[in-house]
Every structure is written in C-alpha cells, then in structure tokens.
C-alpha cells in the first residue's frame, strides 16, 4: 500500500526515513516494480495502425497498453525510449521506439507498421516536385534589374502612399478634443430631431388610436403631394354624393305638396293629416343629412390642417 495519507503507525520511527521507505514501497507503487532494471510501467497509446507479428491481427491507432518504458540511448541530448507492449489478442510482445531525428515512432520488433503512404503517381495523380533547384544559375543582371524595379516602385508608389496615409492620420489625430466635440454636438442635434419626430408620431398615434408598436413612414415631398391629391379626390367624391342626395331629398319633399295642390279638394281629413306627416318626415331627413354633411366637412378640414 502506498503512503498517500498522513497516517503514521505507532511502530513508525523517523530514523527509518520516509513512510514508503519504512514499508519497503516505491512512491510510484506497482508501476516501479522493475525500476531496478531501468523499466517504468507507463500508459502508452499506439501512434499508428500496426499488424501483430505473432497473431497477425490488426491493431488500430489509439489502442492503449501498459508498456514497459526504458531508455535505450540518446540523439544528442534527446533521450531515445523504447515501449514494450503485450498484444491483447495473443501472448506476443512488440516494441516501438522513438526516433528524435525524424520526429516519429518506429516499430522495431514483434509487429509491422501499416503502410498508409499515398503515392500520387501510382494512383493516377501527379507528384509535386520542388521547382526551385539550387543547380539553376542566377543571372546577376536580371537580379540587379529586379532589385532596381523594386526600389523604383517603392520610391514612386509605396513611399508617397505611406506619406499620404501618415498626413491623413495626423490631420484627424492632431486635435482629438475638437473632433470629439464636433461629433458629440452632431449626435445631440440628431438626437433632438429624433426625439421631436418620436413625440409627433406618438401624438398622431394617440389621436387616431393607433398601436404604439406601429412604425410610421418618413415624410417627404412626394408622399405629401400624393396624400394631398388623394384628399382632394375624396372631397370631390363626397361633394358629388352629397349633391345627389340633396337632389333626391328635394324631389321627395316636393312630391306631397304638388299632389296636395292637385287633389286638395277631394282629400279627406285623414288623407290630409297623412300627407302632412309625410312632409314633416322628409323635411327632418333633409335637415339631418345637411347637419351630417357640415360635421364631416369640419372634421376633414381639421385633419387637413
């Protein structure tokens, strides 16, 4: 048992050293059972697909084993480690070593790595070769001409552009307080205009009982002219309808009086009273329509102003 806690038994003597030493245990526990041989048990994950050399079964990349890790050499100051694992499908062992020179892993014994390198030439493709070869000689005159063109482009194009950008930046960053004041003043003016417009819209919505979430269109000259034209057309239509209605009412009113003049002597008192009642009803109807027309005209004029 490893001494992970702070419990010390009664027979413990500090002269014996640490608790692990007193019990004859290593700090790494069972992982260090072969530490005297330079072997440490560690968790190792396969970096690629392999074929086991004993059972000839496929072992996928990412399978983990309790491997025996051991230092077997060094590449300059970088150590080379070997990982010896036991196949979980059989009793065979295989070993994988690190290759610091090529920054990869190499299977040394007990298995073989699955060949997954893709050759484009063998699969109908084209290999990519290095086009910049060191054997090609460089023309010194061409190199000098290229350098001269680059300097000319820098002097005629890049340098003036950088100077103009620098001037532009200095112009807008010379007095940041005044620029900030102008921006804040403009913002306040726009905010006042927006507030007045919002108040006018809220007043209009409250007058006509419109929903508060309704967004009204922006006023412009074209919209005002269209609204004015439609209002005038509606006024003309209304006047035409009212004139027709008045004409019909006047015709109906004149009918009883004419008939009464024609057959006044031959009517009985009952027919005279009926004609008088009809005349009064028609006159009241005409007065009501006239009052309604006047009220409608007044409300339309108020909306227009």
Q: What confidence category does residue 258 fall into, taking pLDDT thresholds of 50, 70 and 90?
A: very low
pLDDT at 78: 94
State pLDDT tens for residues 173-229.
888 888 889 889 999 999 999 999 889 888 888 888 888 888 877 777 887 888 888
Which tokens sit at 268? 């009985």
164, 168, 170, 171: CA torsion to nearest 10: 130
Q: What is the 3 state secondary structure string of 35-70?
A: HHHCEEEEEEECCCCEEECCCCCEECCCCEEEEEEE
Question: Average pLDDT of 2-30?
Answer: 76
* Residues in CB range of 232: below 8 A, 6 or more apart: none
CA distance 120 to 68: 39
Average pLDDT, the chain: 81
pLDDT at 60: 93
CA distance 53 to 108: 11
Contact 70, 82 (CB under 8 A): yes
Largest separation between any pair of C-alpha atoms in the chain: 154
CA distance 264 to 71: 142
Contact 67, 41 (CB under 8 A): yes
Which tokens sit at 102? 């090529």
Which tokens sit at 109? 């014994």
Contact 34, 68 (CB under 8 A): yes
pTM: 0.39
pLDDT at 267: 46
Q: Is the pLDDT of residue 265 over 50?
A: no
Element (H, E) at 177: helix 176-207
User: Which one-letter DSSP state was computed for residue 176?
Assistant: H
State pLDDT tens for residues 105-152.
999 999 999 988 777 777 666 666 655 555 556 777 777 778 888 888
**Mean pLDDT: which of 5-14, 66-75, 203-212, 250-259 is highest?**
66-75
Contact 297, 239 (CB under 8 A): no
């Amino acid at each position: 048992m490893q001494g992970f806690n702070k419990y010390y038994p009664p027979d413990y003597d500090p002269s014996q050293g640490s608790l692990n030493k007193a019990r004859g245990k290593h700090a790494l526990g069972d992982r260090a059972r072969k530490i005297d041989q330079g072997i440490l048990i560690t968790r190792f994950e396969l970096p690629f697909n392999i074929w086991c050399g004993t059972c000839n079964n496929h072992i996928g990349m990412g399978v983990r084993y309790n491997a025996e890790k051991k230092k077997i050499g060094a590449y300059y100051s970088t150590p080379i480690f070997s990982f010896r694992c036991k196949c979980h499908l059989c009793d065979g062992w295989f070993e994988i070593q690190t290759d610091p020179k090529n920054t990869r892993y190499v299977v040394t014994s007990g298995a073989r790595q699955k060949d997954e390198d893709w050759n484009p030439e063998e699969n109908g493709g084209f290999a990519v070769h290095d086009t910049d070869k060191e054997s090609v000689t460089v023309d010194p005159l061409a190199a000098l001409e290229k350098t001269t063109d680059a300097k000319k482009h820098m002097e005629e194009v890049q340098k003036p552009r950088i100077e103009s950008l620098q001037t532009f930046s200095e112009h807008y960053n010379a007095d940041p307080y005044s620029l900030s004041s102008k921006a804040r003043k403009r913002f306040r003016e726009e905010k006042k205009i927006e507030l007045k417009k919002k108040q006018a819209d809220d007043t209009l919505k409250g007058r006509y009982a419109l929903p508060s979430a309704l967004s009204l269109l922006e006023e412009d000259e074209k919209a005002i002219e269209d609204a004015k034209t439609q209002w005038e057309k509606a006024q003309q239509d209304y006047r035409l309808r009212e004139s027709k209605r008045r004409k019909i009412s006047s015709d109906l009113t004149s009918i009883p009086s004419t008939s009464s003049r024609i057959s006044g002597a031959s009517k009985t008192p009952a027919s005279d009273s009926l004609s008088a009642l009809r005349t009064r009803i028609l006159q009241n109807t005409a007065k009501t329509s006239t009052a309604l027309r006047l009220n409608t005209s007044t409300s339309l004029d108020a909306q227009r102003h």
